[in-house]
C-alpha cells in the first residue's frame, strides 16, 4: 500500500528555520517524483514544485523559487521541504504528493499534510 | 500561467441528485499529438488530504466510485457526480498539468441541500 506520511504540526516564529518531512512507503521511492503543494488558510491549492528522489534534482514554481528548498534522502525514502527564514505569510498547510504512475503529472497519493504556523 | 476557473464556487444538491462542476482553462490543455487532456480532478474533505478522482480528464482513479465522471477537452471540462451521497460533501479542484506552473482551479464547495 502506497503511503506518504508527513511530519506534524509546526509552530515557529518569524525568522526561524524549518524543515518538514514526507516519508514514502509501499513503492520504489526513486521511481516517482514528489510534489509539494501549499494551501493557505481559507484558500485553494498551489503547486510549489517537484523533486526527483533519484538524483535530488528539483523544479520550482517561480512563485516559490528562492523561498524554499526541496531535498530528499533515498536511504530513508523521505523528501523534505525547508525554509531558512520563515515569514508569517508562510502559515499554511503543506502537502506532499506522488507523481501518478500513468497519469502524467497528476498526483495519485498525498500525505496527510503538515500545518505550519508562523507567528510572533 | 494557465488560469483555471471553476464554476460555480459552491452548490447545494439534494441527496441522490446530480452535481455538475465546470472547469475552464485559459489555454487549451490538450496535446493534439497524443489526444490527451492534461486535466485532473481532486476531492478535498475537511481534515483529509486531497484525493485524486479523475486524470486525463475522464479516467477514474483506482477505487473511485463510478458515480464520479469527467468529460471535456481543450479548455472546457466537467466533473459530474451522478447521484450525490452524503460522503461526497467536499471541495473539488481541477488541475492542469499541461504546462508549468501546474495550476488548480479555485475550488467548488459541494453541500447537501
- pLDDT value for B32: 84
In angstroms, the CA A75 to CA A56 distance is 12
Out of B49, B56, B97, the one facing A110 most closely (by C-beta) is: B49
For residue B93, which residues of chain A lie inside 8 Å, CB to CB?
A: 44-45
Using pLDDT thresholds of 50, 70 and 90, give the confidence band for residue A119: very high
A95 touches chain B (CB under 8 A): yes
Summarised one tens digit per residue, pLDDT across range A85-115 is: 999 999 999 999 999 988 889 999 999 999 9
Q: Which of A104, A114, A115 to mutate to test the interface with B (most CBs of B within 10 A)?
A: A104
How many cross-chain Cβ pairs, A to B, lie less than 8 Å apart?
65
Spatial separation of the C-alpha atoms in residues B104 and B42, rounded to whole Å: 10
pLDDT digits 0-9 by tens, A6-59:
999 999 999 999 999 999 999 999 999 999 999 999 999 999 999 999 999 999
pLDDT in tens, A61-90: 999 999 999 999 999 999 999 999 999 999
Asked if the C-beta of A65 comes within 8 angstroms of chain B's C-beta atoms, the answer is no
pLDDT value at residue A103: 82
Residues recorded for chain A: 120
Contact state of B56 with A103 under an 8 Å Cβ cutoff: yes
Return the exposure string of A28-58: e unless at least 16 CB atoms fall within 10 Å of the residue's CB, then b: ebeebbbbbbbbeeeebbbbbbbbbbeeeeb
Give pairs for A39-43: CB < 8 Å, separation 24+. A39/A92, A39/A93, A39/A94, A39/A95, A39/A113, A40/A91, A40/A92, A41/A91, A41/A92
Amino acid at each position: 500500500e502506497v503511503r506518504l506520511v508527513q511530519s506534524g504540526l509546526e509552530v515557529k516564529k518569524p525568522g526561524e528555520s524549518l524543515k518538514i518531512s514526507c516519508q514514502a512507503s509501499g513503492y520504489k521511492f526513486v521511481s516517482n517524483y514528489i510534489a509539494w503543494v501549499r494551501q493557505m488558510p481559507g484558500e485553494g491549492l498551489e503547486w510549489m514544485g517537484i523533486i526527483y528522489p533519484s538524483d535530488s534534482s528539483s523544479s520550482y514554481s517561480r512563485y516559490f523559487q528562492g523561498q524554499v528548498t526541496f531535498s530528499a534522502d533515498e536511504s530513508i525514502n523521505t523528501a523534505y521541504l525547508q525554509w531558512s527564514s520563515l515569514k508569517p505569510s508562510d502559515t499554511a498547510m503543506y502537502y506532499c504528493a506522488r507523481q501518478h504512475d500513468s497519469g502524467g503529472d497528476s498526483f495519485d497519493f498525498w500525505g496527510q499534510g503538515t500545518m505550519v504556523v508562523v507567528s510572533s | 500561467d494557465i488560469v483555471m476557473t471553476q464554476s460555480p464556487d459552491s452548490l447545494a444538491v439534494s441527496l441522490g441528485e446530480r452535481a455538475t462542476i465546470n472547469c475552464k482553462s485559459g489555454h487549451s490543455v490538450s496535446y493534439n499529438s497524443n489526444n490527451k487532456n492534461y486535466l485532473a480532478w481532486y476531492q478535498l474533505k475537511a481534515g483529509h488530504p486531497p484525493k485524486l478522482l479523475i486524470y486525463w480528464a475522464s479516467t477514474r482513479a483506482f477505487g473511485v466510485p463510478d458515480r464520479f465522471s469527467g468529460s471535456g477537452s481543450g479548455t472546457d471540462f466537467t466533473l459530474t457526480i451522478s447521484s450525490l451521497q452524503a460522503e461526497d460533501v467536499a471541495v473539488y479542484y481541477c488541475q492542469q498539468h499541461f504546462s508549468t506552473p501546474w495550476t488548480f482551479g479555485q475550488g467548488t464547495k459541494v453541500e447537501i441541500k
